[in-house]
Amino acid sequence: MKEVLTNPTAGYYMNRDVFGQTGDFITSPEISQMFGELIAVWLVNEWTKCGRPTPFQLAELGPGRGTLMADILRVFSKFKIAESDFSVSLVEVSPYLGQVQEKHLCSSQSQEATELPKDSLHYKQSISLYGSPIRWYNHISDLPRTFTLFLAHEFFDALPIHKLVKVDQGWREVLIDLNREDFTLRYVLSRDRTPACLYRMNNEIRNELEVSPQSLVITQAMASRIHRDGGIGLVIDYGHEGDKTDTFRGFKNHKLHDPLVDPGTADLTADVDFAAVKWAATHPSAVEGWKANLTYGTVDQKDFLTRLGINLRLDQLLASCRDETVARDLKSAHRMLTDPVEMGSKFKFLALYPPVMEKILERYPPPGFF
């Protein structure tokens, strides 16, 4: 899965724009500005609740085209948050998408190549349309150590999974093998236990499950940064609370696609196991003096956006709209984002906070989650 998606020369994400109507799938920020606006308001509110520490870092993992970040930066400018108060850090492994993000987020004058110091942990830098510095990183571990607002929208679903099956002899892993008769790919079962089999819980009651060690490592890295340096994390993705089994699938041209057919031409994805993500967020490894981070959620996207006022925002946009086609598109986007049959119940929200905020959050709970 990792090879198919991020191989430097032939990886699905590495050399093309895969988002939107002309791509293979569409994301919530691409559907409507309302989504990004509400996320931005939530971030400003929670940053204010923390005492408005500066300088801070706005970090997005897997930012796609940069559409969500563009909406967030526009809202931040409306709140008069000075560009000198924060920087933007994008964790992006695709050089092509990095270029798309730069064109979307930065002025043409700021996109000229800049020579970086030899010891630089970021591989590219620029200035946003609103004046804040933007830097691109390959890994979350490369991000600067400072108060950080973490955002991960449809990021974890693309991280590699291992599929485990319980048989009479114990746990075995589903592997990918070459069918030598016609040189197609096929699923096979490992002859013995593999290292991935160690990731299942001792009290696991399912006979099949998917585990994503990389998701756990990245969650622990984010959680330990929040604990030691201060910050908040918001994870948005489709997923479950540790009860689903087989969710691995491919998407091509907005339709389901066999993951083993024409690898590299379709998106590969699996539902996020939020129970495992929450476990990782509250059990970072080898952090001295560590206390469990606080997690809130998951809640359905419909509930989160409704509680934040998406219906009111829709009414405001419609009141100022004079074009019937635009008005119809706004209503359609609202339905797509909130209808349980569409994205409303499929996508979940999860928030991470440092333990020092426990008393504050008891008095002022995170909006959208209650």
Q: What is the residue whose two structure tokens read 């970072």?
A: 284
Residues 6 or more apart whose CB falls under 8 angstroms from that of 189 comprise 165, 167, 172, 173, 174, 175
CA dihedral 29, 33, 34, 39 (to 10 degrees): 60
* Cα(91)–Cα(218) distance, integer angstroms: 12
Q: What are the φ/ψ torsions at residue 29 (nearest 5 degrees)?
A: -60, -30
Per-residue pLDDT tens digits for 7-44: 998 899 887 777 655 555 678 999 999 999 999 999 99
* Cα(368)–Cα(370) distance, integer angstroms: 6
Per-residue pLDDT tens digits for 282-334: 986 655 566 789 999 999 999 999 999 999 999 999 999 889 999 999 999 99
Which region, left, alpha or beta, applies to residue 67 given φ > 0 means left and ψ of -120 to 50 means alpha?
A: alpha
**How many other C-beta atoms can be found within 10 angstroms of the C-beta atom of residue 250?**
21
What are the distances in angstroms from CA 114 to CA 103, 117, 135, 156? 15, 10, 11, 31
Report DSSP letters for 47-78, one per residue: HHHTT--SSEEEEEES-TTSHHHHHHHHHHHH
Residues of the chain with pLDDT under 70: 19-25, 109-114, 284-290
How much is the pLDDT for 284? 67
What are the distances in angstroms from CA 157 to CA 38, 149, 160, 248? 22, 20, 8, 10
Quote the pTM value.
0.93
Q: Are 42 and 150 in contact (CB under 8 A)?
A: no
Select from 3.40.50.12710, 3.90.25.10, 3.20.20.370, 1.10.10.350 the CATH code of 2-159+219-304+331-363. 3.40.50.12710
How much is the pLDDT for 115? 75
How much is the pLDDT for 16? 74
Tokens of 251: 């998407």
Closest among 147, 101, 151, 107 to 123, alpha carbons compared: 101
* Domain range annotation of the chain: 2-159+219-304+331-363, 162-211
At 203 the three-state DSSP class reads: coil
Residues making up the chain, counted from first to last: 370
How much is the pLDDT for 109? 66
